[in-house]
Amino acid sequence: MVRAGVKSESFRAASEELAEQCELKIGPKAIERLVQRIGQERIDQRNAAVASHEKLPLTKRDGVADSQRPSPAVAMVSVDGGRLQVRSSVSDSKPTSHWRESKTAVLETYLGQTYEVDPDPDVPRCFLNLKRTTKMVRGLGHALPAGLEFEDQDAAPREKLPARRGRRRSSRPGRPKRLVRSVLASRARSENFGPMMHQAAWERNFFGAKRRVFLGDGAGANWTIHREHFSTFLPVLDFVHALSYLLAAAFAGRLQSEGSEVYRRWIQAVWSGQVATILPELEARSRELGEPPEDCSESDPRQLVFEALRYLSNNAGRMRYDAYRRSGLPIMTSAVESTIKLINRRVKGSEKFWSERGAEAILQLRADYLSETEALSRFWRARESTASGFRPYRRAA
């Protein structure tokens, strides 16, 4: 019942699924109540683990590895925000939008070798396809110059490649291999979500990894979490977010032919870890266009260039992508962004409204089911033992 309630698109769909597949006639409300109850039990376990972790001495808690447990070769932590609709409480003095922010974190382990030279020095061809790239950037909600459209062709001529019969296209050179993922999701504020992330990373002994990376976009809350809880992790700005600002600034107030040339040069420089070489150009371009007025639109060329200069200047120290690739590290937040999309399939919708209690329960359980660390399997076995007084059956190896 819980699995159906969390994985189906709605509690009604879960009821229909149970009736069809299991011949169980269980109403949507009964499934909803059970999901909330089990979700709350998992929330209580999570909160107890965080509280117990925070009581440990600093010498055993903050950035300290457990030598008695194995550590991953590469540990990655990434965080981003999602959205869902929560009913306003009776105590709210003013009616506001129902949309509220949620937090999602992904903790992944990798296998990745190190290199003496950059294993992938040329920017991937997919980022030179302007039609595809502008669609991707708009999908992120990033502003672009008004009327920016492209034909279905690359920004640079495509070289003819030899056919590969019977073989799938290989992945990006130097890209580390993902191993095990765990997921956290909550409506908690950043100051409370950070300790949850720290405890989850400590539980998996991430602080013992030789290579540790913290991935995020430019949101200040993400880097506050990094500074307070993951300061020993290498901070890396998501490459695609950097690309979004570059694309907007390159075409701001320019013809498409000129903007294409500028974009190709800029994106190659950033991919090569040379963002410092293009900042003077952005400064000069911003002076040329003038400072954006307070009432200008987000697609105004002055605003686009000003924001790109500010964003890239603030994050330049987190954009050494050539060095990250040599160290065998991931450089994109695609893991957490794809996870948020999977969570949104259940929680987000124009007609989906949650109570605060229901929202937290569904986020917790949705994250549990997306994790590969068998947290729910352990939970159900322990719950069965506690409820019956008998030892649960073990699954065969």
Answer whether residue 90 shows pLDDT above 60. Answer: no
d(CA 42, CA 39): 5
pLDDT at site 325: 96
pLDDT at site 169: 45
Answer whether residue 155 shows pLDDT above 70. Answer: no
Residue range 19-46: mean pLDDT, rounded: 96
| Percent of the chain surpassing pLDDT 70 | 91
Closest CA to 394 of 382, 330, 298, 386: 382
d(CA 5, CA 15): 8
pLDDT at site 172: 79
pLDDT digit string (tens) for 246-276?
999 999 999 999 999 999 999 999 999 999 9
d(CA 177, CA 383): 35
pLDDT digit string (tens) for 327-380?
999 999 999 999 999 999 999 988 899 999 999 999 999 999 999 999 999 999
pLDDT at site 351: 85
Helices marked H in 119-187? 130-139
Q: How far apart are the first and last CA of the chain?
A: 26
Residue 159's pLDDT band (boundaries 50, 70, 90)? Answer: very low
pLDDT digit string (tens) for 188-208?
999 999 999 999 999 999 999
pLDDT at site 166: 40
Higher pLDDT: 62 or 315? It is 315
pLDDT at site 165: 41
Q: Give CA torsion, residues 28, 32, 38, 41, to 10 deg.
A: -170
> Can you give the C-alpha Rg of the chain in angstroms?
24
pLDDT at site 390: 58
Asked whether 298 and 205 are in contact (CB, 8 A), the reply is: no
pLDDT at site 56: 87
pLDDT digit string (tens) for 134-146?
999 999 889 999 8
Q: What is the DSSP string of 285-335?
A: HHHHH-PPPTT--TT-HHHHHHHHHHHHHHHGGG--HHHHHHTT-----HH
Answer whether residue 391 shows pLDDT above 80. Answer: no
Higher pLDDT: 59 or 34? It is 34
Asked whether 152 and 133 are in contact (CB, 8 A), the reply is: no
Q: Which pair of structure tokens corresponds to residue 103?
A: 């937090």
d(CA 13, CA 32): 11
d(CA 111, CA 273): 23
pLDDT at site 151: 80
pLDDT at site 277: 97
pLDDT digit string (tens) for 50-83?
999 999 888 777 777 777 788 999 999 999 999 9
pLDDT at site 168: 44
| Percent of the chain surpassing pLDDT 90 | 79
Neighbouring-strand partners of residue 185: 104
Q: Which pair of structure tokens corresponds to residue 70?
A: 């194995």
pLDDT digit string (tens) for 221-231?
999 999 999 99
pLDDT at site 80: 95
Q: Which pair of structure tokens corresponds to residue 263?
A: 């974009």
Residue 108 has φ and ψ, to the nearest 5°, of: -130, 150
pLDDT at site 103: 96
Answer whether residue 389 shows pLDDT above 90. Answer: no
- As a whole number, the mean pLDDT across the chain is 90
pLDDT at site 170: 58
Count CB neighbours of 369 within 10 A: 16
Q: How far is CA 201 from the centre of its chain?
A: 16
Asked whether 5 and 34 are in contact (CB, 8 A), the reply is: yes
Answer whether residue 212 shows pLDDT above 50. Answer: yes
Per the rule left: phi > 0, alpha: psi between -120 and 50, beta: everything else, 7 is alpha
d(CA 96, CA 199): 34
Query: Cβ contacts of residue 184 below 8 Å, gap of 6+?
Result: 103, 104, 105, 106, 107, 193, 196, 197, 200, 367
User: If DSSP codes are grouped into helix, strand and coil, which group holds residue 82?
Assistant: strand
